[in-house]
Amino acid sequence: MIAGLRTSLKISLLSAVIFTSGCVSNSQSSLYGGNFDHEEAAKTRVSLGLTYLQNNNYTQAKKNLDKALEFNPRSADVQFAMAYYYQLVGDNLRAEEYYKTAIDLAPDNGDIANSYGAFKCQNGEYEQAKIYFFNAIDNRLYANAAQTYENLALCAQSQGRLDEAIGYFQDALKHQPARGKSLFLLSELYMVSEQWALAESTLRKYERIAKVSPDSLWLAYEIAKGKADLETAKGYGEMMMSLYPESELTKRYLAQRESLQKRVVKTVKSEQPDKSPKQISENQTKPGLLVKEAAGGKNAAQGNEVQHQSQSSASDSTSLAVGKAIENAQNKDLSSQSDKFHVVKEGENLYRISLLHNIKLARLQEWNNLENTGAIIAGQTLWLVPPGMQEE
C-alpha cells in the first residue's frame, strides 16, 4: 500500500516538475552573466536529477538537484524535488523541511499538496495527510482529483479504515469512471467486506477496460467462492491453470483444488438428490459460461485480450450458510495448505496477504502484533498461524 503511494508520488512529482512551472524565480544574473537563465537551468537540472533517480544513480541525482537549488532556490519545483530525494533516501527530517518550503512558495500547487499528503501518510500521520490531500482536491486548477482520491483511499486502507477507503475509491471513480487501478482495488475491498454483489459488478467494470491477469482471475475466483458459486469458482481456477500455469496464484489454487472439488460434489448432490451418479458427474464437470469462453477463445486470452462476461449464478438456491461453511473450512485447513509464515514482497500490503492465504485481516494483524494494517515493509516475516503454533 505504501509502495502504491510512493508510485503515485513519483508520477505526481515528475508531471509537476517536468511539465509544469509554478515556481517563483530569484535570478542571480550577476554571478553567471546577464544572459544566463537561472530558472530554465534549474528546470534542466531537476529533470536530470529525476532521471538519475529513476535509474537509481543517487550520487548524480543529488549533484544535479544541488545545482538546481543553487540556480533557483526560490523555485517550488526545486524544493519539491529535493524533498522527494530526501524522502527516497529515508531522511524524513530534511524531506519535511523541503516540503514545507515548497508549500510556502506555492500554496496553490495541487501536485505538491498531493505528494506532501502521501508523505504524511507514509509516516502514519493520517489526519494531516487528509488535510493536504483535500487541499489539492479543492484547488479548482488541479486536474488530478481522481489520483488524489485514490491516494486517500490507499492511505485510509493502510490505517485499517476500510469504509473510508471504499468511499474515497468511489469518489475517484466519479472523477474518472474508467480508472482501472481504482476499480480493481475497490473490488478487492468489497470482497474483504463480503459485499459480494458489489465486488462482482465492480470487477466486471474493471474487466471491460483491462487485460486479463492472474490477479483478476484470482479475485474473480475468490468472489465466486464468497457467493458460494463453487462451479464458477472452479472455472476461474481452471482458467488460471490454462493461461498462467507458472503463477503463484495458480499454485495457490492447486493447493485448494481438491478441497474445492469435494465441496462442488457435495453441493451438487444436496441440490439434485434425484439425479443419478452419471448425471451428477456430468453436471460436476460441465463448465460455466466463462469457462466455455476461455476454452473457445484461448488464443485471444493468451494475447491478453480475454474479457469476462456477466453470468447468472449456478447456485441461486445455495444458502448463505454454505458460503460461511466454506470459509470456516478454509480457515481450518490453513495449517495443512500453507506455510507458517509469509515474507513480505515489495508492493504487497496486509489485506492482499490475508486474501492470498485465506486469513481474516484482523486475525493476521492480531497474530503479528500489528497496531495498524500499514505497519509492514518488504522483507518482513509475517506469521500465518496463531501464537501457539509459532516456532522460532
Distance between CA atoms of 299 and 261, rounded to whole angstroms?
Answer: 27
**123: nearest Cα among 148, 91, 145:** 91
CATH superfamily of 338-392: LysM domain (3.10.350.10)
Classify residue 92 as exposed, middle or buried by CB count within 10 Å of its CB (0-12, 13-18, 19+).
middle
Distance between CA atoms of 236 and 239, rounded to whole angstroms?
Answer: 5
Classify residue 285 as exposed, middle or buried by CB count within 10 Å of its CB (0-12, 13-18, 19+).
exposed
Q: Which cell numbers in the block locate residue 62?
A: 543529488
Task: Output the pLDDT for position 29.
Answer: 41
Single-letter amino acid code for the residue at 388: G
Q: Is residue 15 classed as helix, strand or coil in its secondary structure? A: helix
Q: What is the DSSP letter of 388?
A: G
Q: Where in the chain is the domain with CATH 3.10.350.10?
A: 338-392
Q: Is residue 382 classed as helix, strand or coil in its secondary structure? A: strand
CA-CA distances (angstroms) from residue 75 to 18, 21, 39, 66?
13, 9, 8, 13
Task: Output the pLDDT for position 327.
Answer: 44
Q: Which cell numbers in the block locate residue 311?
A: 453470468
Number of Cα atoms under 13 Å in the Cβ half of residue 363? 14
**203: nearest Cα among 104, 51, 310:** 310
Q: What is the DSSP letter of 344?
A: P
Q: Which cell numbers in the block locate residue 90?
A: 529515508
Task: Output the pLDDT for position 270.
Answer: 59
Task: Output the pLDDT for position 262.
Answer: 72
pLDDT digits (tens, 9 = 90+) for 299-329: 443 434 333 333 333 333 333 443 444 344 4
Task: Return the CATH number of 2-175, one of 1.20.120.160, 1.10.3720.10, 3.10.180.10, 1.25.40.10.
Answer: 1.25.40.10
* Distance of alpha carbon 379 from the chain centroid: 18
Please identify every stretch of the chain with a pLDDT value under 70, giving residue numbers as ranges. 1-34, 263-339, 372-375, 391-392
pLDDT digits (tens, 9 = 90+) for 350-373: 777 877 777 877 888 888 888 766
Task: Output the pLDDT for position 375.
Answer: 65
Q: What is the DSSP letter of 341?
A: E
Q: Are 293 and 239 in contact (CB under 8 A)?
A: no
Distance between CA atoms of 77 and 30, rounded to whole angstroms?
Answer: 23
Q: What is the DSSP letter of 381?
A: E
Task: Output the pLDDT for position 259.
Answer: 77
Task: Output the pLDDT for position 315.
Answer: 37
Task: Output the pLDDT for position 137.
Answer: 96
Q: Where in the chain is the domain with CATH 1.25.40.10?
A: 2-175
**94: nearest Cα among 63, 119, 61:** 119
